[in-house]
Chains A and B, each alone.
Chain A
Amino acid sequence: MMPQVLTRLAPQLIALVVLMGLVTLFYPGFLSISYSDGRLVGPMIDVLKRSAPVALLAIGMTLVIATRGIDLSVGAIVAICGAVAAYMIASGYGLPLALALALVAGLAAGLWNGVLVAVIGVQPFVATLILMTMGRGIAQLITEGRILTFTDPAFAFIGSGTALGLPVPVWIWLGAAVLAVALLRRTALGMLIEAVGINRKASAVAGVNATVLLVAVYMAMGLCAALAGLIITADIRGADANNAGLWLELDAILAVVIGGNSLLGGRFSIAAAVIGALIIQTITIGIRLAGFPSEYNLVIKAVLVLVILVLQSPRIASEYAFWRQEARRKREAQLKGAGR
């Protein structure tokens, strides 16, 4: 079991290690971790902490992409949930109610997307585009166009606190990832999701309730986005409806495809997607630490996407298979000729 998992994760792990090595070449202090005031400090810890939003989104996005879908609205959901939590705190409703309502808002947004995709049958790309356009408007409606700030140490703890030596956001995304993997791989749920992604009709004929499963997947995505929104809002102690979660949907999709998950649905690995999120964050922080202007970030991401596209392309895969078959046939013909 274990070696199999390692083989699956090998390309992502190797990429991460190589990247860390590269950054260390330019910035020797990258790997140093020290212990002070009851917490670990160092650039690597920073990478772990700042990966939290993208890693959380990547967990949900992996599931959505495994069903052959896509969710473009997660950035907007992040903004909505952050706005809801900040509004509740600022209005004095207390932390538990604020957290609960923010999570409910994420679930509701997921339900909306899920119903459009699974029940009404709109393409996922189009269905989630609606909330992507509308979502920031709704978030601005909640914050009334201002940046809602608050002072609640308990809420800020979620974004910038430390527990057991590690930042709280790290515990949140680690916990979410472990929970998701346990839930999906210890039960048949993960396999059913893969079945729906590979062929929805066939899985429905085989008795999988594809509609309910799809709605549930989009709701799980909404929940992940809500958690990410809470972390971002708590970290900056304010809800910025315009900029919270901006472009995060693209980073989340990138993390999932770096994790080797096919955009065409089917088999998935949440662990690989989370490592993908770490790779993205290592690049972002590495560029800054190595002293390059952060403008290079986008160009590097573009090149990354292109490389992954070539690797995943069904046309190139089939041409490669054809070329190998041809070569083998030639070799066999030669062997036969030599034998005769």
Chain B
Amino acid sequence: MNTRTLPLYVTIAIFLVGYLICWLQYPNILSTRVVGNLLTDNAYLGIVAVGMTLVILSGGIDLSVGSVIAFSGVFIAVMLRDSGLHPLLVFALLLALTTAFGAAMGWLVYWLAMPAFIVTLAGMFLARGAAYLLSVDSVPIQHDFYRMLQGAYWLMPGRGRLTLIGVLMLAVVAAGIVIAHKTRFGTSVFALGGGEATARLMGVRQGRTTVLVYAFSGLTAGLSGIVFSIYTGSGYSLGTVGTELTAIACVVIGGTLLSGGAGYMFGTLVGVLTMGLIQTYIVFDGSLSSWWTKIVIGILILAFILLQKGLVRLSQARLNAGEP
């Protein structure tokens, strides 16, 4: 039995079994409409979870992403309202800003040699504070280009809508898979998460890799902010509170080891879809309350952490017993 791929199989099995249970109760859940909405509603979460997966694989954590998404929305809304720049130019400015913000946090994590969660905690305060300073109220976005983006979809058979932001999410996941599993940088990230000292001895450039990982997370958070602003049509500095926790939960349910060094980018997509499935089920049921989402997600996280704890012990025992 390969202990490395088992969490991924468990993730996929849980999703399929969950979908089966939902389908037995509500056959409509298999329609392309529901599937399309599942992708659209969770697009921003999926995009930010890709960045979070890479950070967690490197042995870190990024608590700032929820605040960065909120900042992005407010930044876009205020810029479009006040400056008259084209949205695409605003997007480019924003992505440069959030990527630089992430890179700065990565540099601090490396340079100060302090726990990543406290550095990114400062980032969380800073980004949320910056959003407040831009505007405390919700700012609506009214631009023809935005209306075009919101209306862009491909009608699937069965009248389901595959929206632009849904496709963008899948594209980001695909890019994430390539970066994490097929590039030299991705290998460095895995090595760093497996053990810093070992990685350094192997010749991984720790500083460069750390900065790039957090820069990537900043980039996906900015992209997620753009998608969220398209989805809601406004920018609100109090929005997406706690998204960082939801993203971490998706990564863990997706089978990635929270201490870093092992996991699959594809699992994160399944984790996001599982999270969306729970919410869809609650909407279909109608009588269940939304707080059950939190409890079920908590139980799922617990189950995965215990599973991984068991697997790590198992492989440790095998190492000790096996080859000298």
**CB within 8 Å of B: which residues of A?**
70, 120-123, 125-127, 129-134, 136-138, 140-141, 144-145, 241, 250, 253, 257, 263, 295-299, 301-302, 305-306, 309-310, 312-316
Contact of B293 among A137, A299, A312 (CB under 8 A): A137
Please measure, in the bound complex, the distance between the C-alpha atom of A298 and the C-alpha atom of B123, giving whole angstroms: 10
Given A133-B249, A309-B118, A313-B112, also A120-B306 (CB < 8 A): yes
Stretch from B128-136, B169-177, B264-272 forming part of the interface with A? B128-136
Residues 16-58 of B contacting A (Cβ, < 8 Å): none
Smallest distance from the beta carbon of A152 to chain B beta carbons, Å?
25
State which of A121, A141, A309 has its C-beta within 8 Å of the C-beta of B114: A309
Measured CA separation A307–B263 after assembly (Å): 34
Q: How many A-B residue pairs have CB under 8 A?
A: 109
Please list the 9 inter-chain residue pairs (A to B) with the smallest Cβ-Cβ separation, ordered nearest first.
Answer: A134-B298, A137-B294, A298-B129, A295-B132, A299-B129, A302-B125, A140-B291, A305-B122, A302-B126
Contacts A129-B248, A253-B121 aside, 11 further interface pairs with beta carbons under 8 A come to A70-B117, A122-B309, A130-B298, A131-B298, A132-B245, A137-B293, A297-B129, A302-B129, A305-B122, A309-B118, A313-B114
B interface list, Cβ under 8 A from A? 61, 108, 111-115, 117-119, 121-123, 125-126, 128-130, 132-133, 136, 245, 248-249, 258-259, 289-295, 297-299, 301-302, 305-306, 309
Contact across chains for B129 and A130 when beta carbons are under 8 A apart? no
In the complex, what's the smallest C-beta–C-beta distance from A319 to chain B, in angstroms? 10
State in angstroms the CA–CA spacing of A266 and B299 once bound together: 32
Contacts of B290 in A (CB 8 A): 145
Nearest CB of B to A54, in Å: 15
Structural contact, B258 and A123, CB atoms closer than 8 A: yes
- Known contacts A129-B248, A302-B125; is A134 also within 8 Å of B299 by CB? yes
> Shortest distance in angstroms between A75's beta carbon and chain B's nearest beta carbon?
11
> Contacts A137-B291, A309-B112; is A126 near B258 (CB within 8 Å)?
yes
Chain A residues contacting B299 (CB-CB under 8 Å) are 134
Of the residues B117, B129, B245, B259, contact of A133 by C-beta under 8 Å: B245
Q: Quick one: closest B residue to A120, CB to CB?
A: B309
Write the chain B residue with the least CB distance to A125: B117
